């Protein structure tokens, strides 16, 4: 199959020259868009939206209809994997995601098994095919999953957490149990991402939202080691094209060199890392993705443009050209972002010289 008509995102990941610096946004299909809120209301609830291939396709395309973005990302949720493992995912109003059966007991942990993505997660694969068809080769489609450690945080805590007391108690007191969870989850995530690739994803991304809450030694043992295992097990090519893998650890800038050695093609950075410093630290080893603070998008358009240009200038000053860069936010876009402010960001990034 030919490359998308706008292939700048893939070209950047291949370290090839681009006609403009590619930009997409983490959580680009979300509550900041009124059209998304309307579709979610029609779906009834968030899980129903995720589990409808037609509606997931609809919301994936909404930001592309509004903005000149350089990639689409599959609309789903990282917690679909533990839900498929039987933990009973639900969303509590005002509380976020919760699990009916959190993993605390040794017997339940030993019984944990990786689901067949073509069975328990078939609705995601249906959406992947529908989105790829609807894109009509306009821009690339990104698939994604949560990292094993981030998923384990939700699976053990039973939902979001401020102190990660349960999982960190397990990590230090019974590391064997946590390694069991991580091993099964890494098998599940590898199979899940490969299934997304088989059904049309042209790049994949691992979101390690909570890896940055660990000590350096614990991060390498309980988070990075399993992401490395997943990257090694991914399909590297499909339909004659390379399938790039992006790793993103929020708060992971301290370990950038180690992440760059994981076998991934690109490293996502949060806003705490200077992009030029990051480029000097890793050289041409990996592509970099990032990393505007999402809260900049609350500022006036001229400030948004100025802050984006600062990041681009920092990257440019650390190398000879602008190859090897995908522009993004340092984390997901806020639901309170004025939609028109995204236009200012796109205009500034796309206008920046590529040479």
Q: Are 235 and 197 in contact (CB under 8 A)?
A: yes
H-type helices in 199-294, by residue range? 216-219, 225-233, 256-260, 275-282
Say whether 90 is catalytic.
no
Q: Are 48 and 33 in contact (CB under 8 A)?
A: no
**Angle at 198 (CA atoms; ends 196, 202), nearest 5 degrees:** 70
H-type helices in the chain, by residue range? 8-13, 34-43, 46-50, 53-66, 80-82, 106-111, 117-120, 122-135, 148-157, 165-173, 175-198, 216-219, 225-233, 256-260, 275-282, 301-317, 339-351
**Angle at 330 (CA atoms; ends 137, 341), nearest 5 degrees:** 70
Say whether 31 is catalytic.
yes
Say whether 77 is catalytic.
yes
Please tell me which residue in 11, 40, 132, 228 is annotated as part of the active site.
Answer: 40
Please tell me which residue in 66, 77, 90, 126 is annotated as part of the active site.
Answer: 77
Question: What is the CB neighbour count within 10 angstroms for residue 316?
Answer: 20
End-to-end, the C-alpha distance of the chain in Å comes to 29
- Closest Cα to residue 72, out of 23, 11, 118, 125? 23
3-class state of residue 77 by DSSP: coil
3-class state of residue 51 by DSSP: coil
Please tell me which residue in 27, 132, 228, 279 is annotated as part of the active site.
Answer: 27
Characterize 162-190 residue by residue with b for buried, 16 or more Cβ atoms within 10 angstroms of its Cβ, and e for exposed: eebebbbebbeeeeebbbbbbebbbbbbb
Say whether 27 is catalytic.
yes
> Active-site residues: which are they?
27, 31, 40, 77, 154
């Amino acid at each position: 199959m030919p490359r998308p008509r706008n292939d700048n995102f893939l070209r950047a990941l291949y370290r090839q020259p681009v006609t403009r610096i590619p930009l997409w946004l983490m959580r680009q299909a979300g509550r900041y868009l009124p059209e998304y809120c309307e579709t979610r209301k029609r779906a009834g609830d968030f899980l129903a939206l995720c589990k409808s291939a037609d509606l997931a396709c609809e919301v994936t395309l909404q930001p592309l209809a509004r903005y000149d973005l350089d990639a689409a990302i599959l609309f789903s949720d990282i917690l679909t994997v533990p839900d498929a493992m039987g933990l009973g995912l639900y969303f509590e109003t005002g509380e976020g995601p919760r699990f009916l059966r959190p993993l605390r007991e040794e017997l339940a942990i030993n019984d944990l098994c990786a689901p067949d993505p073509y069975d328990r997660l078939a609705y995601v694969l249906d959406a992947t095919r529908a989105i790829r068809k609807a894109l009509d080769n306009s821009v690339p489609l990104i698939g994604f999953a949560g990292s094993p450690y981030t998923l384990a945080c939700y699976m053990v805590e039973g939902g979001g957490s401020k102190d990660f007391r349960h999982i960190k108690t397990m990590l230090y007191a019974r590391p064997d149990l946590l390694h069991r969870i991580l091993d099964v989850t890494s098998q599940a995530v590898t199979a899940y991402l490969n299934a997304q690739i088989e059904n049309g994803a042209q790049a994949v991304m691992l979101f390690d939202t909570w890896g940055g809450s660990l000590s350096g030694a614990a991060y390498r043992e309980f988070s990075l080691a399993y992401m490395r295992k997943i990257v090694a097990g991914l399909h590297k090519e499909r339909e004659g094209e390379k399938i790039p893998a992006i790793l993103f650890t929020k708060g992971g800038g301290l370990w950038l060199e180690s992440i760059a050695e994981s076998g991934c093609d690109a490293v996502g950075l949060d806003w705490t890392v200077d992009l030029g410093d990051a480029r000097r630290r890793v050289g041409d080893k990996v592509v970099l993705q990032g990393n505007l603070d999402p809260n900049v998008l609350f500022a006036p358009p001229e400030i948004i443009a100025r802050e984006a240009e600062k990041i681009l200038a920092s990257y440019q000053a650390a190398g000879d050209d602008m190859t090897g860069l995908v522009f993004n936010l340092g984390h997901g876009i806020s639901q309170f972002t004025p939609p028109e402010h995204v236009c200012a960001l796109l205009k500034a990034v796309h206008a920046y010289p590529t040479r």
